[in-house]
Structure 1
């Protein structure tokens, strides 16, 4: 093995706000420092409380998103609930593709499967 994925990083103009939004979608929590890492302070990432999902980092950048993502999340979930949290529809589900392309509040695209649990 040459490398292993440590986490996934999203650029954001408001990194904390976007991190909190993704926490509400994924059931994650803000990763806080331990006694050795700025105890109790947010470390710029979110974590799966069950330890099963990847660590997701948020990097503050001055510019907004322009253009299409080259990498995105594929989720299984309830589209209506995610939209109610503030996502927007980029492409709706169709007969051929039982998934939606949505965007988070900063415009990062992600897919949500609505069919049999298999994203195509």
Structure 2
């Protein structure tokens, strides 16, 4: 069965929204930035405050706050990422339950539930929170 890996929030300013939720939730905190991550961001002209993907960790699923450059208000602003051992099998299974595939991306498949809410199916062990439209290797490392 899939597990909820993370809950993804689309955001205008990910660092600000991440700080808010880290303050609201007990035992949750913004994932620390190590020197290598700060250097990687600097190489992209970014800082932790302008990072397009900010993670918040705690006792439950991680929360992922991602900037979405072309926000489409026909989709939901919060979605689940489900980690599974076999993406193709689970895409087929949820489709048989009424979901439909929206698109395949590198590292995840975007699905829509019967009411049109998006969720992603990822392979267990794949990097977290792959921002839509950003290739693996460009997302924030854990």
TM-score normalised per structure 1? 0.41
Instruction: Looking at secondary structure, tell me which structure has more helix per residue.
Output: 2
Higher relative contact order (CA 8 A, sep 6+): 2
